[in-house]
Amino acid sequence: MALLIFSLVFLALICFLFLYCFRNKHGSPKSFPIVGMMPELLLNVHRVYDWHTETLDRCRCTFLVKGLWFGNMNTMVTCDPANIHYIMTSNFNNFPKGSEYKQMFDFLGDGIFNSNSDLWKKQRRATYEFVKKQQFHNFLSKTTRDKVENGLIRVLDHVTDLGSTVDLEDVFQRFMFDSTCILFIGNDPRCLSVEFPEVRFSKALDEVVEAIFYRHVWPLSFIKLMRFLNIGQEKKYKKAWRVLDDIIATIIRRRRKELKEGSASEIGKDGVDLITSYITEEKPTGLECDDKFLRDTVLNMMLAGRDTTSAALTWFIWLVSKHPTVENKIIEELESIIVPPEETKKRRLFNADEVKNLVYLHGALCETLRLYPPVPFQHKDTVEADVLPSGHRVDPNMRILFNLYSMGRMNSIWGEDCYEFKPERWINKHGRIKHEPSYKFLSFNAGPRTCLGREVAFIQMKMVASDMVYNYRFRVSEETPVVPSLSILLHTKNGLMTRVSSRWD
């Protein structure tokens, strides 16, 4: 098996020479005997998002990636809104996440992102019941405000006083890690501080999602070989998974003990964090809340809470720093809500109620998510053979991949100015927020799997974004390129190295 795999890889490398001479510049990538399109994919893996975008643009938003023969790697890649609406809504039951998805994301266990059918419905219902509570929303607003004031602002003031460069992506990840821990496990790890302590959980999570990206590139047999030999990305994956399990197991044991002894921390006494709510309620919506269920739930929520919002804030600050006109309009909108007006032109923090209805800020955040979706792609499996609205046939067990990054860069979807950062795109002629259908703007998913945390994410993003833009100026280092990393989450490859200065001092 090993000899066969390495022979195929060697053959793919030989095909690179032919690829330069014979690649198709007007359609789908060149497919070779035995190795399929693997040569061009491997040649472009370092820029896979842009390669997909260029190919989808040539192929009218849908094309078939042909993998190794007998490797079961054929994948239908699409960013066609009609196809996405059909798969996510019209014929939802024929396109589950499937067993292959669960194998790729096996570290998530039976959590809400991995599950299907009845288990998924029960978890979704339980999560919905939790996040819709007014008590939770009050807790969310208070937690975000406290973490901004006592964490984010202190760190930014510190680096401002030093005149040093700071990685804002790291700052946002620390901010969201602390906030997510408070909301879901009732504990503040305080990793957002001027000491910038090492966070084992975050480091392990980064290594896991990077390894999963490469699982989308290599044949399953090659991944199994690496796992068996305990080498490469699979070795890092296994070690990181063990770290995550150990940390979460400790958290669950401590919370159960605190609740039993009545010694829960101040954060958890109200029972508004997720894990406390699940432990204290008797089988919420029919779920068995054993340690395995709690482990899977916590890990799924930590992944969603820490990485998606921190990635969105990173790209938002980068885009705003490059577009001073947008920055000035956000500041003008913020000044318009300050009462009395003479309080403007000095430091100020905004609460959730003040910023929730801001139109231009909302547009700027949506425009960031359109161009740089935190989850740049997702995939589905096919149960029964079908024909998509685009006319492409999909066979049973065929993987379908949605490319959200490419969708935001399609002229046919967003117009000739699709590459431009234009918050006005999200404002209608009446000056209100313009609604775009979810199958066109897929950052919060669509259909029955629409993200339950959309409102939570916008509350956090608006509070952080308004406080940062209003009170600070950001100058991103030109020495460190800001490009996407190779991951299932759209982080930057080199961080967002930035000099911060106070706007009002």
Q: What are the binding residues for heme? A: 451
* Rounded Cα–Cα distance for residues 305 and 199 (Å): 16
* Rounded Cα–Cα distance for residues 452 and 474 (Å): 32
Strands (DSSP E) contained in 133-197 are 165-167
C-alpha distances (whole Å) from 406 to each of 63, 66, 505 are 13, 19, 41
Residue 494's Cα: distance from chain center in Å? 17
Torsion 30-31-37-42 (CA) sign = negative
The phi, psi pair for 444, rounded to 5°, reads: -110, 25
* Rounded Cα–Cα distance for residues 227 and 214 (Å): 13
In one letter, which amino acid is 20? Y
Lateral strand order in the sheet of 399-403: 62-65, 75-78, 399-403, 377-381
Provide the 8-state DSSP code for 433: B
Q: Which residues are annotated as a binding site?
A: 451
Q: What is the CA radius of gyration of the chain?
A: 23
Q: Roughly what angle, to the nearest 10 degrees, separates helices 220-229 and 232-261?
A: 70
Structure tokens at 413: 């979807």
Answer whether 293's CB lies under 8 Å from 287's CB.
Answer: yes
Which element (helix H / strand E) includes 336? Answer: helix 324-336
